């Protein structure tokens, strides 16, 4: 979501005549877009801010802005801690910076800035379709920082995707904190499935992805649309967070372990070759060894394609921070995280090994260390070597080798040349 916000702010600044530069030290305007979903992310923001102080001192007319989830409704405390920051902006709150840049340039920013569609997008592009979240998971700071759920109308999203297609984008990833709740707040009450149908018609777009789903909102209508619409990829990120009912209840996740298992089973029955990823938090306040074992067992039984595992850290301002005791030691949290990762590595090794010898459709996204790289429809990273230019093409790759994290293959067929407009070489 932050990447998408940054792209949009970048588009606005470019419309005002600014250009991106390679190094922050060379920039007249530096924007740090912050994530504070975990303590580690917040620490990184603070250290980056410290690094900017001398840059500002050296060139006082330089504008330094802090955007994103670190900025709450009141920024007094931040202004005290970081006096060299000129502007504080909440997520998607671009105006204060645009106003300041407009003042410096002597232009009216509202007259310059049109739709905030990325100007030079990559082959794949993020498209936010919902801002905010209406749920109140006890560990999560996002609803406090990004506000209530607001869905963008279907036609507004469709127009943006059409523009992106005209700029060479082949794959869009629709973003929302609870992306499958799309439309619940709109008057016409469209669903994510309705949006999929509209976007599936857009010429030039080859693939549609979506992040992140909440198990409570994943309806059969959406699952059916994933199965039936050719451009919608068979990949679902469906965070379960824990495999124990008491912990799920403490987290206020609003589903049970059995309901999650049932949902995964329905998805697998309806969508052939679907890949399902999940998020896990270990060391939630009060999580016992037995409760943690329930999470390990769930992951072992479901054999999901990917698990993003994080150790719990208290986020000030959340319900958990006010009402629960974060008493599990860091050592224990790390050990639980490593046990999840170790088990999952074995599962992914086996799942990916089954793909060796198969032919996979890959959208080529770029080059790394002399190899082309792209993803399967199920979001698995694939590398292959070839001298020809393939960026933005859909190709078929025969998978030769696998690891838990990626696949290596050889070009089988140039499946379809999808008229790449990009001219980037190696990156």
Residues that bind ligand SF4 (CB under 6 A): 133, 135-137, 140, 142-143, 177-178, 214
What is the spatial distance between Cα 47 and Cα 287, in angstroms, rounded to a whole number? 31
Q: How far is the CB of 279 from ligand SF4 (least distance, A)?
A: 9
Neighbours of 158 (CB within 10 A): 16
CB nearer to ligand SF4: give 143 or 190.
143
Residue 318 β-bridge partners: none
Residue 372 β-bridge partners: 367, 384
CA distances from 283 to 242, 291, 301, 340, 345 (A): 10, 10, 21, 12, 20
Q: How far is the CB of 366 from ligand SF4 (least distance, A)?
A: 29
Please provide the DSSP assignment of 316-339 as one string: TTSHHHHH----S-HHHHHHHHHH
Q: How far is the CB of 14 from ligand SF4 (least distance, A)?
A: 30
Please work out, in degrees rounded to the nearest 5, the angle formed at the alpha carbon of residue 276 by the alpha carbons of 401 and 282: 100
What is the spatial distance between Cα 202 and Cα 154, in angstroms, rounded to a whole number? 13
Q: How far is the CB of 212 from ligand SF4 (least distance, A)?
A: 7
CA distances from 393 to 149, 245, 361, 388 (A): 35, 45, 10, 11
CB nearer to ligand SF4: give 69 or 98.
69
Q: How far is the CB of 307 from ligand SF4 (least distance, A)?
A: 16
Tell me if 90 sits within 8 A of 145, measured CB to CB: yes
Q: How far is the CB of 139 from ligand SF4 (least distance, A)?
A: 7
Could you give the dihedral angle defined by the CA atoms of residues 254, 259, 263 and 265, in that order, rounded to the nearest 10 degrees? 160
CB nearer to ligand SF4: give 213 or 402.
213
Q: How far is the CB of 127 from ligand SF4 (least distance, A)?
A: 18
CB nearer to ligand SF4: give 81 or 148.
148
CB nearer to ligand SF4: give 138 or 393.
138
Q: How far is the CB of 252 from ligand SF4 (least distance, A)?
A: 8
DSSP secondary structure code for residue 263 in this structure: H
Helix, strand or coil, per DSSP, at residue 118 = coil
Q: How far is the CB of 232 from ligand SF4 (least distance, A)?
A: 22
CB nearer to ligand SF4: give 177 or 291.
177
DSSP secondary structure code for residue 241 in this structure: B
Q: How far is the CB of 338 from ligand SF4 (least distance, A)?
A: 23
CB nearer to ligand SF4: give 150 or 158.
150
CB nearer to ligand SF4: give 135 or 229.
135
Q: Which residues have C-beta within 8 Å of that of residue 308, sequence separation ≥ 6? A: 277, 278, 279, 280
CB nearer to ligand SF4: give 314 or 396.
314
Could you give the dihedral angle defined by the CA atoms of residues 140, 66, 174 and 263, in that order, rounded to the nearest 10 degrees? -10
What is the spatial distance between Cα 234 and Cα 379, in angstroms, rounded to a whole number? 8
CB nearer to ligand SF4: give 212 or 344.
212
Tell me if 345 sits within 8 A of 352, measured CB to CB: no
Look at strands 124-128 and 29-34 and give their pairing. Answer: unpaired
């Amino acid at each position: 979501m932050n990447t998408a916000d940054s792209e949009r702010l970048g588009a606005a600044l470019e419309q005002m005549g600014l250009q991106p530069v390679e190094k922050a030290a060379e920039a007249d305007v530096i924007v740090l877009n912050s994530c504070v979903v975990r303590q580690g992310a917040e620490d990184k923001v603070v250290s980056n801010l410290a690094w900017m102080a001398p840059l500002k001192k050296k060139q006082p007319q330089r504008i330094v802005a802090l955007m994103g989830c670190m900025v709450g409704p009141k920024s007094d405390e931040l202004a005290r801690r970081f006096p060299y920051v000129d502007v504080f902006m909440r997520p998607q709150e671009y105006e204060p910076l645009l106003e300041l840049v407009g003042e410096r340039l002597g232009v009216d920013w509202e007259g310059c800035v049109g739709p905030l569609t990325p100007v030079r997008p990559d082959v794949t592009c993020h498209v936010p379709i919902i801002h905010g979240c209406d749920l109140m998971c006890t560990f999560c700071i996002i609803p406090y920082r990004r506000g209530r759920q607001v869905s963008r109308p279907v036609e507004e999203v469709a127009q943006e995707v059409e523009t992106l297609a005209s700029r060479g984008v082949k794959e869009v990833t629709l973003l929302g904190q609870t992306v499958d709740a799309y439309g619940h707040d709109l008057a016409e009450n469209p669903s994510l499935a309705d949006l999929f149908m509209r976007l599936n018609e857009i010429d030039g777009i080859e693939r549609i992805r979506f992040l992140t789903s909440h198990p409570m909102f994943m309806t059969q209508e959406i699952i059916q649309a994933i199965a039936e619409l050719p451009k919608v990829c068979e990949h679902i990120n469906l965070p379960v967070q824990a495999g124990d009912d008491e912990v799920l209840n403490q987290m206020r996740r609003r589903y049970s372990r059995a309901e999650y298992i049932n949902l995964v089973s329905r998805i697998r029955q309806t969508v052939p070759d679907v890949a399902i990823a999940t998020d896990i938090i270990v060391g939630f306040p009060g999580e016992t060894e037995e409760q943690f074992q329930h999470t390990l067992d769930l992951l072992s039984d479901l054999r999901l394609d990917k698990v993003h595992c994080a150790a719990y850290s208290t986020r000030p301002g959340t319900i958990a921070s006010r009402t629960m005791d974060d008493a599990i030691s860091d050592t224990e949290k790390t050990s639980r995280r490593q046990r999840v990762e170790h088990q999952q590595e074995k599962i992914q090794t086996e799942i990916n090994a089954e793909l060796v010898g198969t032919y996979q459709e890959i959208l080529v996204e770029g080059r790394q260390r002399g190899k082309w790289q792209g993803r399967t429809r199920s979001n698995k990273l694939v590398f292959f070597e070839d001298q020809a230019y393939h960026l933005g093409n859909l190709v078929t790759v025969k998978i030769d080798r696998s690891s838990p994290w990626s696949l290596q293959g050889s070009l089988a067929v140039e499946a379809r040349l999808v008229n790449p407009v990009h001219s980037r070489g190696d990156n």
